[in-house]
Chains A and B, each alone.
Chain A
Amino acid sequence: MGLPLMTPQTPITRIRVQYAKGEALRFTGHLDLQRLWERTLRRSRLPIRYSQGYHPRARLNLASALPLGFVSDDEWLDFWMDEPRPLDEIQDRLSSSSPPGLKIKAVQSVDLSEDSLQARMKASEFVITFYDPQNKQDLHAKVAYLLVQDNIPRSRRKKAYDLRPLILNLEVITQSSGEPGLWMRLLAEPGATGRPDDLLDQLGYPNTAYLVRRTQLILA
């Protein structure tokens, strides 16, 4: 499925950006992040493609919504430009226009006909850091207990779903601080996206007990 055509002309260049969303933007949600990106693009003064109409908007496409309160090392975004520019110039301009908390990691050119990032999303990986010291054995036991379940019935926004098939991997890790944490890979397909905070709630941790970092997006 292609993107909705926002302008009558065909966009000339499609640029993919890999970026990190740091702690300064931890509480900037998905919609706010889109606006933040539009402003970053506008400040860069690159020849970005706008929608037509009374309220022109920059055309951009984020791979996967990151829930409020999470940070990430690996986010992806596509935007379009009316004329080509060298990739290193694009990266420089984006870096110097980025607000605190947004770090541009890589920029590449993408074929116009390629599927959208959202359509290609398969899974996300996360690392969980607990604010308070955890007993590693307990954590292992909790994880093991969770993973032996065939079904983990939960509800989100009053909609019932099974969390178990969304968990592809879940492991206890030792972090650089020496403290135990969690690493997980959760399914992230349209209509079947696992939420780390739901998983942690299932393990008995409220969302005030930890920080979630997305470490990798897995695309088809």
Chain B
Amino acid sequence: MTLSHQETLQQRVERLLPTVVKPGRYVGGELNQIVKPWDSVQTHVALVFPDIYDLGAANLGMALLYDILNQRSDVAAERAFAPWIDMEAALREAGIPLFSLENKRPLADFEIIGVSLPYETLYTNFLNALDLGGIPLYSAQRDKDHPLVIAGGQAVFNPEPVAPFVDAFAIGEGEEVVLEIVDAYQAWNLADTSRQDLLTRLAGIPGVYVPALVSVEYHPDGTIKQVKPIHPAVKLPVDKRLMAKLPPPLTHFLVPNVEIVQERVSVEIMRGCTRGCRFCHAGMVNRPIRERPVAEILAALGTGLDQTGYEEVSLLSLSSSDHSQVIPLIERLKNLLTERQVNITLPSLRIESFSEELMDILQKLSPGGGFTLAPEAGTERLRNIINKPLSDADLMATVRSVFQHGWNSLKLYFMIGHPQETLADVEAIAELCKALLQEGRRLAGGRVRVHAGISTFIPKPHTPFQWAPFDHLESIQTKINLLHEGLRGSKIKLTWNDPQASLLEAWLSRGDRRLAEVIHQAWGNGARFDAWGDQFRIEPWQTAFEACGLDQNFYSTRVRGLDETLPWDHINAGVRKAFLLEDYQWSLAGEVRPDCRQRCYACGILSSFNELRLAVPGGGWGCP
């Protein structure tokens, strides 16, 4: 009997809960949660975010798919998150499978598992979730009675490192394709044919990549010889999906009963970015730029506040100050914020587009507190190379204005480890921070604080730097030491990413299909929560590389040949490889490519998707 089985699982879990940290992560029951009677729907989809509830429950992409799927009366979408270490141990000891929060059903009871992979360091948690859910890890091991495992998210623009574990990838924006996948599943279910037939049906959906139907051959040196379809249903490359016009923003937010990382009404005001920073994966793969109209944003914020009672709203985009209507938007937001007594956060502000006017309004709306800017490099030379051009004088002028407007804490993000970077560029970061602090103190006094956050450059797929090497660990450490010395006694706070964690990200983001075995072994060696500084260890990975006979440096510090077939070349993110190559060469020459809002540089997004653009005119698509 299903019912008694369900009660048993829930009761067994409840007895475990007093023994684990923050048990409220595992109970669901939030305001606005959608629980459909299990037998009332045809298709059950488990949306899995392979990190803890505290992060996953705040993920907008997951919330969006939950809403879209649950709007269908024939589908129930439920949520599952990675259990923290203590809960994993408790579940394994009690023999309880990973379950959904809504109906408390084991993952294996669902027809479709949709895994969200926004970053690569979730891969071991992804395997762990399948394993805890009682689902065979490899696609090839799953048969008709197992759930279909779909993965999507920003990381899967290079799907290859997790290809053997995934039945089908949804590449690009998920709003439409997720429904098409459910349709294909239902049609297959009705036809009652083989699992192979399901995979070929899925491969026929634009934006869906079925790795089992694509073979990869390698040269003796480990580079790729050929990637080819092994079924006529497959067409390569697989074009990503995108929405020509953004649908109205999400207003259905679950309100958690325990604290999570972000509790606010978030509205995506714009998708894509025209700046063309060469290191930025998001800026390349999320093209073109599409703005949401002000009225739509305001309406969504109001509805979201009505539904949640949150104290804060957030306007999301890759570069909020680049929204063409940002000033009118915020002007019109004022009333709502005052009436509802809520705060606003506006992350991702660009130094160049950040006007005095915007600063005036923002300071009035949310006075005090900190201000964040990301110059990324310490010298104009290197900023030109990475295509985030900004003169020292302009940076100084912006920072001066920040302090004059009353902010007294400044956070600056920088990146080290770019192949064109010299030690002088690194020293310049420290000098720049000190100069900005000194200017801040002159204008706003001794309470001024400056914080430098340092990350390591990771060459990402589908960016102009996809051929570039990741820096050597010793070299990264030398640079961090140099920053320490340079800032000694300055009272500037310095924080940096663990270079080994960046190395892992470098392996995983540019890996090929052979890396799957490394991920599998690392998971077997105990790797979990690799995105967590207190959990990540490099040793399980090094052991795994050795056991698989693969060279770590092949994936990280090796300069890739310009004529090489890259592991993700058969995925079309919209930007042509020839464009990326040209931009890489411009970079080596120190040449800047201006913002493409004014003039088109033929990156490829228009040639790939022009028909789509023409089919939906007036959708806020920002290409000139």
Contact = CB atoms under 8 A, between A and B. Distances in A.
A211 B31 CA distance: 23
Interface residues of A, number: 31
Contacts of A39: 255, 308-311
Contacts of B27: 24, 26-27
For the complex of A and B, 7 pairs with smallest distance between CB atoms: A39-B309, A42-B309, A99-B31, A27-B24, A43-B309, A24-B29, A56-B341
Interface stretch (A10-18, A29-37, A72-80): A29-37
Given A26-B27, A32-B259, A54 B343 contact: yes
A38 B311 contact: yes
Interface string B289-300: 000000000000
A153 interface: no
A110 B17 CA distance: 38
B309 A208 contact: no
Interface in B250-284: 255, 257-259, 263
Interface stretch (B110-118, B144-152, B347-355, B361-369): B361-369
A106 B547 CA distance: 66
A54 B407 CA distance: 13
With a 10 A CB-CB cut-off, give which of A27, A31, A40, A100 has the most chain B CB atoms.
A27
A28 interface: yes
10 contacts: A28-B257, A32-B24, A32-B258, A39-B311, A43-B306, A45-B306, A54-B343, A57-B311, A100-B31, A208-B15
Interface in A36-78: 36, 38-43, 45, 50, 54-57, 68-69
Contacts of B24: 27-29, 32
A149 to B, nearest CB: 26
Contacts of A131: 15
B546 interface: no
Nearest to B35: A100
Contacts, number: 80
A207 B18 contact: yes
Interface residues of B, number: 33
Nearest to B340: A42
Nearest to B306: A43
B356 interface: no
A163 interface: no
B18 A43 contact: no
B258 A29 contact: yes
Contacts of A55: 311, 343
Contacts of A90: none
B30 interface: yes
Contacts of A56: 311, 341-342
B19 interface: yes
Interface in B164-180: none
Contacts of B16: 208
B308 A43 contact: yes
Contact of A54 (B22, B31, B255, B369): B369
Interface in B298-333: 305-311
A45 to B, nearest CB: 8
Contact of B367 (A27, A40, A54, A57): A54
A28 B258 contact: yes
Interface string B415-451: 0000000000000000000000000000000000000
A25 interface: yes
A25 B257 contact: yes
A91 interface: no
Nearest to A24: B29
B23 interface: yes
A101 interface: yes
Contacts of B368: 54
Contacts of B22: 27
B343 A99 contact: no
A29 B18 CA distance: 12
B23 A69 contact: yes
B258 A97 contact: no
A56 B338 CA distance: 10
With a 10 A CB-CB cut-off, give which of B23, B30, B341 has the most chain A CB atoms.
B341
B96 to A, nearest CB: 14
A25 to B, nearest CB: 6
Nearest to B256: A32
A175 to B, nearest CB: 17
A36 B257 CA distance: 7
Contacts of B310: 39, 42
Contacts of B342: 56
A124 to B, nearest CB: 19
B309 A101 contact: no
Nearest to B257: A28
Nearest to B308: A39
A27 B311 contact: no
A79 B24 CA distance: 26
Contacts of A32: 24, 257-259
Nearest to A25: B257
Contacts of B29: 24-25, 100-101
A54 B341 CA distance: 9
With a 10 A CB-CB cut-off, give which of B18, B259, B305 has the most chain A CB atoms.
B18
Given A32-B258, A100-B31, A27 B308 contact: no
A56 B22 CA distance: 27
A38 B342 CA distance: 12
